[in-house]
Amino acid sequence: MQDVEEHPAYRGIIEHLLMLAAPRPNATVLDVACGRGPVSRMLLETQGDNVAVWAIDSSPEMIRLVTEQWGHRLGAICASAESYAQLFPPQSIDCVIMANAIHLLDDVEGFFKQTRRVLRPRGRLAFSTAFHIGSECPRDRSVYLGFLIEVRKILKDAGIQPRELGGKGGEKRRRDEATYAALLRQAGLDIVATQKRWVTLDSSFLRAIASSPPFATGLLPGLPPALACQIAGAAAQRMIADHPDVNLTRQWLFMVAQIPRS
């Protein structure tokens, strides 16, 4: 099964986020909630030694994977998005990037405020998410329901009793652009870019993204990331086997904010 990080459509999404973030030469960049490291990888591919990259994730498993692949070229820290800023001095970071994970946070306001503390003057925060109010097409709901049915079958067969699918408070964490904008301003950050892009997820993209850590751990909170990825990937595979031509259309939201000019 192809990793989502290798899929051309997902690489295009990461490229767009990095284009908006626009880290300066010699910048110190944090890849927060890095997962398997697609942002870190692309930064190293495109910027080389012109940036200092730190990969941060709350999962020791994800940090191990990133370290095994690029540990000689970046720093890696096991820490949550809500607590990572305590590890860095004030005004020490040029750019913080979070790809497709902000919808998993309970305390987005706290994350924004802590990020503001570590950003240097004119430093930037850039994030993307495909899980926000307005991200789904109504016609795709039956496809998503079919996927959840397959997930429940696999869990039942394995004798696993997870928390509610999507996690407790999942709908509460599904915010809209206006809410993110208000929280950024409350944290003392100026919004410099907001964009939305519709992306078609064909069967290969669906299969890949279902088995990715951000999606699978959000769907199956409390399970080890590797197990969550395995279950979600298997459910997608079953659904696609029954409906080979299935596809979804999803809207990605991109936002960039920075420390105001003093």
Q: Which of 120, 115, 130 is nearest to 10 (CA)?
A: 130
DSSP letter at 188 equals: T
CATH architecture of 4-258: 3-Layer(aba) Sandwich (3.40)
Phi-psi region of 163 (alpha: psi -120 to 50; beta: other; left: phi over 0): beta
Buried b (16+ CB within 10 A) or exposed e, 118-145: bbbeebbbbbbbbbbeebbeeeeeebee
Q: If pLDDT is split at 50, 70 and 90, which confidence band does 173 have?
A: low
Q: How would you classify the pairing of strands 248-258 and 119-129?
A: antiparallel
Query: Which strands form 51-57's sheet, in the order they lie side by side?
Result: 75-78, 51-57, 27-32, 93-99, 119-129, 248-258, 190-201
Mean pLDDT of the chain: 90
Q: If pLDDT is split at 50, 70 and 90, which confidence band does 137 have?
A: confident
Name the residue ranges covered by the structural domains of the chain: 4-258
- Average pLDDT value for residue range 49-55: 94
User: What pLDDT was estimated at residue 171?
Assistant: 52
User: What pLDDT was estimated at residue 217?
Assistant: 80
User: What pLDDT was estimated at residue 236?
Assistant: 93
Q: Which of 41-45, 166-170, 174-178 has the lowest mean pLDDT?
A: 166-170
Token pair listed for 70: 């690029």
Q: If pLDDT is split at 50, 70 and 90, which confidence band does 24 have?
A: very high
Q: What is the pLDDT of residues 189-240, one digit of tens each?
A: 999 999 999 999 899 898 898 888 888 887 887 788 889 999 999 999 999 9
Q: If pLDDT is split at 50, 70 and 90, which confidence band does 71 have?
A: confident
